[in-house]
Amino acid sequence: MNSEDIARLAGVSRSTVSRVINNYANVPEATRAKVLAVIEKYNYEPNTSARILAGKSNNTIGLFVISVSEKERRIYQNAYYSSFINAVVDVANDNGYYVLVHTIYSEKDYSKVKQSFLQKRICAGILVGNEKLSSALKEISRMGYPIGIVDYDPEDIEKYDLDDSNLIVVNSKDYEGTTDALNYLIGLGHREIGIITGRMETYSGRQRYEAYINVLESNGIEIKPEFVLKGEFHKKKTYDEVRNLVDSKKLPTALFACNDDMALAAMEVFSENGIRIPEDISIIGFDDIPLAAHIKPALSTVKVPGYEMVGHITELVISKIESKVRKFHYESIPDQLIIRDTCTNVRDGAF
Amino acid sequence: MNSEDIARLAGVSRSTVSRVINNYANVPEATRAKVLAVIEKYNYEPNTSARILAGKSNNTIGLFVISVSEKERRIYQNAYYSSFINAVVDVANDNGYYVLVHTIYSEKDYSKVKQSFLQKRICAGILVGNEKLSSALKEISRMGYPIGIVDYDPEDIEKYDLDDSNLIVVNSKDYEGTTDALNYLIGLGHREIGIITGRMETYSGRQRYEAYINVLESNGIEIKPEFVLKGEFHKKKTYDEVRNLVDSKKLPTALFACNDDMALAAMEVFSENGIRIPEDISIIGFDDIPLAAHIKPALSTVKVPGYEMVGHITELVISKIESKVRKFHYESIPDQLIIRDTCTNVRDGAF
DNA sequence: CTGAAAGCGCTTACAG
DNA sequence: CTGAAAGCGCTTACAG
């Protein structure tokens, strides 16, 4: 069943069938109804490849989920990501777009992005993932398609010579979120504040660390290298770092973890060692993963609105596809401090 | 840049370029190298739509994530699903396939499946989701494309008149998993065993319930209606049901929850009411979501190998695409009882 | 308002 | 081994 069949059955030409399908204005209602009836009756749907080849948009957004640092190829383990995929698909589908999902596990896989464009499979791309985006990004940005990136340093655009006219960058306000968390801790009287850092290959990892340094310094609090634990956003790394800290017998009174996974890992180690939270040490995380509210004690954290952020970038990408305006768009979304049960006034503690 | 440009640049015809791209045997090495060099140099990738239109497979699998019962369109909240998407994408990408992800939130959305086939966007479909699959499935099964379905009653195939020659159904062994969990509880001395049921619209929901009934009966244990709580796989519903149970002052000594979310909800309610787990009541879940191992006490449960299950069905679908053998394939994957800290011998308890 | 025809970029018998 | 040509199923100027 193709447009020619429909045309014959409706007693018109393929041109007219096409006009009906594409909602051209200059088709009399009677003709339109006649054609529509045949289309309906035979359950006809135009061949997508033919339409694209003839000049229509493919209406497909590529979603590239980058995870070059994970050993295991289990992105979903990271609760962070699953909401991203869902957000893109929801918003795209609502707007009549399809989404092609790809995972990127290595530097080499970046060629998949370029390839998808070159093969004309997609008309825009959204990149999410926790790694420094490779140099491949320069090339990708220059292909002329709208590209949405989540968690990217806007200064890197110039630094890596990207073409920003096709770029949409949406970040969460990690610096401010971190500042809020730290000020909260300081307000509770803490002066010995440690950090479990994320991956410095990510913008959010760097921002959270920088905010830590700056807030402490501007409050006249000394930054002790032994209280700076390198967690890399991973639980495994964090276990080791926190165990070392515990072994050193010198604990801070509060610990700021750059994500909830690491905060949880730290809590486990403390719990194993009879160190009470928050009595012996306060701890605060980042992200607000579902688990955070459910563990005991419930984890105080900084909520990153992941679904909203990614849903929003999807809307921006779609409007860029349709508007043809080529202009850099940057946005950052506020985080929210969520106070639960893992932080307490330093004077109430055992120290 | 198209195949004609490449042809001219390489001094051959488009036919030869095509033969090189498609790895035809009858191209001399020298010619192949010459063409490849030009392709490489200009970063040429053949236009996908043109290839498909000319007869190539679109190499795209549609992944339809069904969630008609959820109020909120947040599939990812269900930890269950995110691993599914990831599994399909990983396996498909590894085999050179693309995946188009769609969410289905209403009965009406099922037309998206049919449409995607009719428009020739996809050459196979995988349906995952927690609802009774609609009657649309009959039509979909008859379109002649391989369809993989997770969690579907094989008896419904005949009942709903599906064409099974294109079907691949993969379930987890819910009945056996439930039996294991219940036998474990019975082995601990429990005779007062309640259940929080899932959605009866799902095969797994029904299987788990049926196994509960049968195991109890075959052990001569009375099934008390007041111990059958209707949780619908949802936390909210479960809170209400468990509160009612607690208010009734008549608790079973053990509770089998048809998924971990509901087990967790029950634990929260018990905890609020000073009912200790496992001392006052044993509880066991189903699924083994990441949270299960991390809450205190750690939840005993039946692990469903979701990623493996869906990865496997993806492999089966791909081999069906490529083999052209049309024959029903059914498989069920064993679950695994995971004993952690929420169940204890009934004699040790406070009852 | 509508049809004939060109064209999108490939693949693949067909003929040599 | 290789090229000319038909054909895949549409869309869209073009002409009327």
Could you state, in order of their start, the residue ranges of all structural domains in chain B? 3-53, 60-172+306-334, 174-303+337-348
CB atoms A93 and B103 under 8 Å:
yes
Cα atoms found within 13 Å of the Cα of residue A196, Cβ hemisphere only: 34
Of A25, A91, A14, nearest to A51 (Cα)? A14
Q: Topology of A60-172+306-333 in CATH?
A: Rossmann fold (3.40.50)
Name the pLDDT band for A236 (thresholds 50, 70, 90). confident
Using the beta-carbon criterion (under 8 Å), do A45 and B81 form an inter-chain contact?
no
Preferred mutation among B42, B44, B48 to probe A, highest tally of A CBs within 10 A? B48
Domain B60-172+306-334 has CATH 3.40.50.2300: yes
Give, in Å, how far the C1' of D7 lies from the CA of A282.
Answer: 72
Instruction: Determine the distance between A6 (CA) and C5 (C1') in angstroms.
Output: 19
* Residue whose Cα is closest to the C1' of D2: B16
Quote the pLDDT of residue A258. 97
Interface of B with A in 113-172 (CB under 8 A): 114-115, 118-121
User: Which of B82, B113, B272 to mutate to test binding with chain A, by most A CBs within 10 Å of its CB?
Assistant: B82
Residues 133-172 of B with CB under 7 A from strand D: none
| Interval A309-331 mean pLDDT | 92
Tokens representing B244 are 């009612």
Report pLDDT for B130: 63
Q: Hey, which residues does A338 pair with through a beta bridge?
A: A301
- Pick from A42, A43, A49 the residue to mutate for testing the B interface (most B CBs within 10 Å): A49
What does the CA dihedral B316, B317, B321, B322 come to, rounded to 10 degrees? -20
Residue type, A8: R
Q: How far is the CA of A351 from the C1' of C9 (A)?
A: 74
Question: Range with the lowest mean pLDDT among A82-96, A187-201, B114-128, B218-232?
Answer: A82-96
The angle subtended at Cα A215 by Cα A210 and Cα A221, nearest 5°, is: 115
Give tens-digit pLDDT for A43-56.
Answer: 999 999 999 999 99
Q: pLDDT tier at A97 (50, 70, 90 boundaries)?
A: very high
Instruction: Determine whether the interchain pair A53/B58 forms a contact, defined as Cβ–Cβ distance below 8 Å.
Output: no
Nucleotide nearest to B54 (CA to C1'): D8
Give pLDDT, residue B289.
86
What the block records as the tokens of B267 is 């634990």
Strands A147-150 and A167-172: parallel
- pLDDT at position A102 over 50: yes
Asked whether the beta carbons of residue B119 and residue A53 sit closer than 8 angstroms, the reply is: no
3-state SS class at B128:
strand
> Which H or E run includes A332?
strand A329-333
Is A103 in contact with B86 (Cβ distance < 8 A)?
yes
pLDDT digits (tens, 9 = 90+) for B13-61: 999 999 999 999 889 999 999 999 999 999 999 999 999 999 999 999 9
Q: Does B82 touch chain A (CB under 8 A)?
A: yes
Report the C-alpha gap between A85 and A98 in whole angstroms.
12
Q: Are B177 and B337 in contact (CB under 8 A)?
A: yes
Smallest Cα distance from A41 to chain B, Å = 14
Please report, for residues A11, A23, A28, the alpha-carbon distance to residue A33 in angstroms, rounded to integers and kept in the order given: 12, 12, 9
Nearest to A295 among B49, B86, B295 (CB): B295
- Determine the straight-line distance between the first and last CA of chain A, rounded to whole angstroms: 79
The structure tokens listed for B307 are 């990623």
Residue A81 forms contact with B (CB below 8 Å)? yes
Domains A60-172+306-333 and A174-304+337-348 share a fold: yes
Q: Do A121 and B103 touch (CB under 8 A)?
A: no
Q: Which residues in chain A have Cβ-Cβ distances shorter than 8 Å to B82?
A: 76, 79, 81-82, 85-86
Chain C: nucleotides under 7 Å from a protein CB? 1-5, 7-13
Residue A135, CA distances (Å) to A104, A156, A199, B108 in order: 14, 11, 18, 44
Cis omega (within 30 of 0) for bond into A297: yes
Distance B1 CA to C12 C1' (A): 22
Percent with pLDDT over 70 in chain A: 93
CB of B17 nearer than 7 A to strand D: no
Query: CA-CA distances (angstroms) from residue B103 to B74, B80, B139, B348?
Result: 10, 15, 19, 47
**CA separation for the pair B76, B87 (Å, rounded):** 14
Neighbours of A57 (CB within 10 A): 12
Residue with tokens 């449409």: B115
Per-residue model confidence as pLDDT tens digits over B261-306: 999 999 999 998 999 999 999 999 999 988 788 888 999 999 999 9
Q: What is the pLDDT of residue B72?
A: 53
CA-based R_g, chain A, Å: 26
| CATH dotted code for B174-303+337-348 | 3.40.50.2300
Nearest residue to A257 (alpha-carbon basis) of A302, A295, A226, A214: A302
Banded pLDDT at A349 (limits 50, 70, 90): very low
Please judge whether B79 and A77 are an interchain contact, meaning their C-beta atoms are less than 8 angstroms apart.
Answer: no
pLDDT at A50: 96
B83 touches chain A (CB under 8 A): yes
Q: How many contacts does A have with B, using Cβ atoms within 8 A? A: 133
State whether residue B101 is helix, strand or coil.
Answer: strand
* Fold type of domain A3-53: 434 Repressor (Amino-terminal Domain) (1.10.260)
Listed as ranges, residues in chain B with pLDDT below 50 are 73, 75-76, 349-351
> Straight-line distance from CA B78 to C1' C8, in Å?
44
Is B95 at the interface with chain A, CB within 8 A? no
Closest chain B residue by Cα to residue A117:
B45
**Omega before A290 within 30 of 0, i.e. cis:** no
pLDDT band with cut points at 50, 70 and 90 for residue A350: very low
Q: Under an 8 A CB cutoff, do B48 and A121 touch?
A: yes
Neighbours of B105 (CB within 10 A): 18
Architecture of domain A174-304+337-348: 3-Layer(aba) Sandwich (3.40)
Average pLDDT rounded to a whole number, residues A157-168: 92
